């Protein structure tokens, strides 16, 4: 996951990042840097052992803030440092967490800046262990982890892989990018969409012609995956129904991967019950071959005569369901248009009973399929038209989710 710009979820949030004495400590510098770039105020705390692997100066340089060590605990400069740090924190992360620190915090031991702060903090805690597989497998380590989970601490990782000792097994520090996904999940939990169910459809469908060929489109899934992440950032329970995409789904989303328009229709209709918001960002095929050849078509047999039929109108079927039982409470459609953008999008909005439509002009090189940016116009059911400037797909998602929250408020 790349975080190219400030993310509203992180803006002004105070994150304590405790780093302990593992070889993986150097990876925490990347994490601290990404969190800072995303807009968080990152306060770094290093154990004595952590400083054998990486210096406070590294963290000071990437966060622009002083990094604290045990020496600061006893200094007269700050007024009871650990209490001050703990009091205003939104999240305490210990990453990497050694077996030693896990044991200490599991038992309430408080003999270092990190462990005292962990005891004083009332905010959610996220711990990412890293150690040799033998250390991780030890019943005592496992029992410490169970104790922490029982107390509501989120344990993230470790993962399988090669460790610095040469051992291969379970104990490797989770990659910072993935850890970031877990941090977003933890930070967003009590956001404005807490307790609400959101379905996002994303990426393009493929309609098979024969055993190896299909009719596809070039949708990458970038916009849909960004929308799913933005909904998770706001505390929603997200189901991501995805066509073919190589992207990693956001941490915390329930993912349903599929290929064809028919499969997408089935998945959407099955899940739409009791769903608050449906965001239909997938590029669903409009046509599919009537006949799918089981074997690969032979070139020597000449140009095949491929007859097409229309695929299901998923949003149309959703609109019928919505009329019958009220679910989803709110539908948002996406229209990729190459001409008459606003008129075509408005017609779709009315026909499909949508609350909002996000229209993008795919005739422009910097908008639409595959690229990271989009130039969209938001049209709502009240007739409001909001033309947005060129933005990243991540930024578009933020704006769309803000609008969704406003629209939900009007329904209450
Ligand atoms: C080279 C080296 C690498 C180490 N790597 C780890 C590690 O990955 N995980 C771990 O739990 N302990 C590791 N240790 C042991 C810890 O550094 C040691 O238990 C230390 O007391 C931890 O202190 P802290 O938890 O306060 O940082 C390592 C020790 C050395 C010398």
Smallest CA separation from ligand 1 atom 16, residue: 21
- The question of whether 217 is a catalytic residue gets the answer yes
Of 16-20, 34-38, 69-73, 80-84, the poorest mean pLDDT is in 80-84
pLDDT at 68: 95
| Greatest extent of the chain over all pairs of C-alpha atoms, in Å | 86
Dihedral angle at the C-alpha atoms of 149, 257, 233, 174, nearest 10 degrees? 50
pTM of the model: 0.92
Per-residue confidence (pLDDT) for residue 2, from 0 to 100:
46
Q: To test ligand 1's pocket by mutation, which of 17, 18, 22, 130 has the most ligand atoms within 8 angstroms of CB?
A: 22
Average confidence (pLDDT) over 46-73: 96
**10 alpha carbon – ligand 1 mean position (Å):** 30
Each residue of 149-197: pLDDT tens digit? 999 999 999 999 988 778 889 999 999 999 999 999 999 999 999 999 9
pLDDT classification of 3: cutoffs 50, 70, 90:
very low
pLDDT digit string, tens, across residues 325-370:
999 999 999 988 878 888 999 999 999 999 999 998 877 766 656 6
- Count of CB atoms situated within 10 Å of the CB of 217: 18
User: What pLDDT sits at residue 340?
Assistant: 86
Of 146, 132, 144, 105, the C-alpha closest to 18 is 105
pLDDT in tens, 255-297: 999 999 999 999 999 999 999 999 999 999 999 999 999 999 9
Pocket, ligand 1, Cβ cutoff 6 A: 20-24, 47, 49-50, 98-101, 112, 130-131, 135
Does residue 132 have a cis bond before it (omega within 30 degrees)?
A: no
CA of 91 to the centre of ligand 1 (A): 24
Q: Where are the alpha helices (DSSP H) in 221-336?
A: 222-233, 261-271, 314-325
**What is the band of 6 on the pLDDT scale with cuts at 50, 70, 90?**
confident
| Structural domains in the chain, sorted by start | 14-188 (3.40.50.1950), 197-411 (3.40.50.10300)
Residue of the nearest CA to atom 17 in ligand 1? Answer: 21
Give the closest residue (by CA) to ligand 1 atom 6: 22
Q: Which of 100, 134, 144, 217 is catalytic?
A: 217
Please choose, from the candidates 87, 280, 91, the residue with its C-alpha nearest in 3D space to the C-alpha of residue 189. Answer: 91
- What is the C-alpha separation between 115 and 160, in angstroms, rounded? 27
Mutate to test the pocket of ligand 1, among 19, 44, 49 (most ligand atoms within 8 A of CB): 49
Instruction: Tell me the best of 18, 96, 100 to mutate to test the pocket of ligand 1, counting ligand atoms within 8 Å of each CB and taking the most.
Output: 100
Strands (E), 163-257: 168-172, 197-202, 207-208, 214-215, 237-242, 254-257
């Amino acid at each position: 996951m790349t975080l190219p710009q400030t993310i509203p979820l992180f803006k002004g949030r105070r994150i304590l990042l405790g780093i302990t004495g593992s070889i993986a400590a150097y990876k925490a510098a990347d994490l601290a840097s990404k969190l800072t770039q995303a807009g968080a105020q990152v306060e770094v705390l290093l154990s004595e052992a952590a400083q054998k692997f990486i210096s406070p100066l590294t963290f000071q340089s990437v966060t622009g803030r002083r990094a604290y060590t045990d020496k600061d605990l006893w200094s007269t400069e700050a007024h009871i440092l650990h209490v001050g740090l703990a009091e205003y924190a939104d999240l305490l992360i210990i990453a990497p967490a050694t077996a030693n620190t896990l044991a200490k915090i599991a038992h309430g031991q408080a003999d270092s800046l990190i462990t005292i702060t962990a005891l004083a903090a009332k905010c959610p805690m996220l711990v990412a262990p890293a150690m040799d597989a033998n250390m991780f497998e030890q019943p005592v380590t496992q029992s410490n982890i169970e104790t922490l989970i029982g107390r509501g601490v989120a344990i993230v990782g470790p993962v399988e892989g090669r460790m610095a000792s040469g051992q291969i097994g379970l104990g490797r520090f989770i990659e910072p990018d993935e850890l970031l996904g877990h941090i977003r999940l933890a930070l967003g939990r009590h956001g404005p969409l807490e307790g609400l169910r959101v379905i996002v459809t994303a990426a393009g469908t493929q309609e098979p012609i024969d055993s190896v060929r299909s009719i596809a489109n070039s949708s990458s899934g970038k916009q849909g995956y960004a929308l799913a992440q933005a909904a998770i950032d706001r505390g929603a329970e997200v189901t991501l129904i995805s066509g073919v995409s190589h992207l990693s789904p956001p941490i915390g989303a329930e993912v349903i991967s599929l290929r064809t328009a028919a499969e997408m229709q089935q998945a959407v209709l099955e899940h739409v019950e009791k769903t608050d918001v449906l965001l239909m960002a997938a590029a669903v095929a409009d046509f599919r071959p009537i006949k799918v050849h089981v074997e690969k078509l032979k070139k020597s047999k000449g140009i095949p005569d491929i007859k097409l039929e229309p695929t299901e109108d998923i949003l149309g079927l959703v609109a019928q369901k919505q009329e019958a039982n009220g679910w989803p409470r709110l539908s948002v459609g996406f229209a990729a248009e190459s001409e008459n953008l606003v008129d075509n999008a408005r017609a779709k909005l009315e026909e499909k009973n949508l609350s909002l439509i996000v229209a993008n002009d795919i005739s422009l090189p910097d908008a639409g399929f595959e690229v990271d940016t989009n130039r969209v116009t938001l049209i709502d059911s009240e007739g409001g038209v909001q033309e947005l400037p060129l933005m990243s797909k991540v930024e578009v998602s933020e704006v769309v989710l803000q609008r969704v929250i406003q629209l939900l408020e009007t329904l209450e």
